[in-house]
A and B are shown apart, each in its own frame.
Chain A
Amino acid sequence: MQELLSEVIVPTASYISRIIVPMLEGTVVTLKLFFITIILSIPLGVLVALARISKYRLLSNAVGVYIWLLRGTPLLLQVFFVYYGLPNFGIVLDSFPAACIAFVLNYAAYLAEIFRAGIQSIDKGQYEGAKVLGFTYWQTMWRIILPQTVRRVLPPVSNEAITLVKDTALVYAIGLGELLRATKIAVSRDAVTSPFVVAAVFYLAMTFLLTKLFDKLEKRFAIY
């Protein structure tokens, strides 16, 4: 009896060896979604932030509506919309690209607000210092303001990255075989809950590595 109970919660080595391959395959999907989202949403977020603070009202307002929509509705709803809703407009996507599009658009909106706050926290003397040296607006942004913004936004961006690791589990809902789905399949098939523990360890390992990476980045940018 005792043996059976522990088997349900704490996985044995032999059981782990049976489920490890599908769970690793799920992790690959999770990581793919994570990296695609990070790599595309950061530059998009910078552009959206710059558009948001643009002096052109129309652009700034349009981007404001975009941020409101993407931050104001659930990410899962956005995933559903891209996957199930867009076919109504003649755009049919596989589940993985659909998930990527929803994630990139959603995360770019959040990151844009972080970047905007970072950009606006830079002293206006920096703009003036650059201007009297003859810098154009874009030269000022690119060479003077954005590099200083990086250091300030690292902690909140680290937060977003950790949230993203866990948000990837949402795509389970459109049938993508990521880590949580692989876990749930094992749980249902074998009538044990121990795969959840394995999955938790996987997620913790990923967020641990991310935290370490951001610590390193923060230290590297702390030289001035």
Chain B
Amino acid sequence: MTNQLTTIKKLLPFLKPCRGLFVLALMAATVSSLLTLYIPRLTGEAVDCIIGPGNVNFHGALMIIVKIAVCACLAGFFQWIMSILNNKMTFEIVRDMRNAAFKNIERLPLKYLDSNPSGDLMSRVIADADQFADGLLMGFTQFFTGVVTILGTLFFMLMIDWRIGLLVVVLTPLSFFVAKFIATHTYEYAKLQAGIRGEETGFVNEMIAGQKVVKAFGREEAVLRDFDEINERMEKASLKATFYSSLTNPSTRFVNNTVYALVAIAGAFAAIGKLMTVGELTSFLSYASQYTRPFNEISGVITELQGAIACAERLVDLIEEEPEIPDPVDAEELNMPEGRVRMDSVCFSYTPDRELIRDFSLSVDPGMRIAIVGPTGCGKTTLINLLMRFYDVNSGSISVDGKDIRKVTRRSLRDSYGMVLQDTWLRSGSIRDNLTIGNPEATDEEIIEAAKTCHSHSFIRRLPKGYDTYIGEDGGGLSAGQKQLLCITRVMLSSPDMLILDEATSSIDTRTEIRIQKAFHSMMAGRTSFIVAHRLSTIRESDLILCMRDGNIVESGTHKELLAEKGFYYQLYMSQFSGKAI
């Protein structure tokens, strides 16, 4: 329960903007409920006009009939208005929460995103938010009418006989206790269900994304077995959550029926003692049954809300997750840097138990082309994570143009670099959308110009709709090389001040690669660039080649110097020509 309270507290800021709507909805609910309660009275009056054969007050009856019609229409209208307002509140609250969650995703440190399955995060933004909306909507709708009906009937009951009326008031909390007892137990199951649902979404996400591998290895059945395992747990948890939450309604109804029976007995004794007429007892009982019904609904709403809050909790957790340390207020803008990059005794590790980069120092002059080579896993990609400030160094410092990168805005730092990664990420959208990510204002001429320079123009032109061709998630039907060409064009178009190429051309044929490099060279003239590559042919022209091994630089120098050293680089270089069989 305390858990829920904290969650509700965290939800308040999202509920606040709806205060106005809330009041309006409450007013609409009041009007419509009161009119609805008034109709039975009118009906009674109409019946009084009909006494017997030849004794019917048609004029009076017709007047009342018209009143009934008007009341019904008005009640219906206000009820509709209330529903519209409720819809608006619910969907807008959830919209704001989704927006907040998404905004935070854009700000979370990579450390968090790298270590949380994206399927689970997605499940929070989509499925949990939906569940919350459903609960909230039901809550609003039933809550308003319920409250007004309770107050209205209570008023009428106390008017008829205050003693029995009080009895009803005193007994009412019973159903709330029952509802609360069930709700506390339901909450745990709802949370369990939401957790397993997240797990299942994660699994489905992973498997469907890798579906081709699943098929290639004939793992369909094995994967299905794993799925079954989660799915069965899901079924069990879901059965429990659904069943326990559905207990509330019958239980409170039972309590209410008992109260009703007690009222009937008390009323009957009162009638026998001539304290009340039979007619009064009849109307009292009819109000009593009207009075208890909203309690059923409200307690039903409470259980629904339990589930909703369990879902909201997961969403709020994501919204409240600590974002990246914000740029300091006095952060400078890195404006068209010359490209003097220094790394001073940098140490870094992803996990405390395994140090990856140790006491790493490097000084790069403007316009230098730095190549980083070394066996896989030696820390090359990590270096890029640090340069781009995706991760912060554990100790030491990195500076650009003499400014510590922690003291400049991330935006201007990242803006200074053009980055092409090994992982070619493309979004679903047109080719044009993808190319202009770094430079949304680019004109068609500029786009085509950049594409021609990067040799992607010819294949783009051949696609069904050229630059407007829609490519699906993850590049759809494009080959790895084509995707890389698009990523390179994308960077070319953003004309950065410095460049980072992490195995950027590994899937592009060497002929094209050489042409692209020429383009890069002319573009990068006088600009600092970092190149990670395996094909040593691509880096021979570099000003400085760093050979990395286990997070350290073991050799550095130009191609010629390093070859002359006959060390690590020499071995790497000669190995390309080693003519082993196959």
- Chain A complexes with chain B: no
Interface residues of B (CB under 8 A from A): none
Interface residues of A (CB under 8 A from B): none
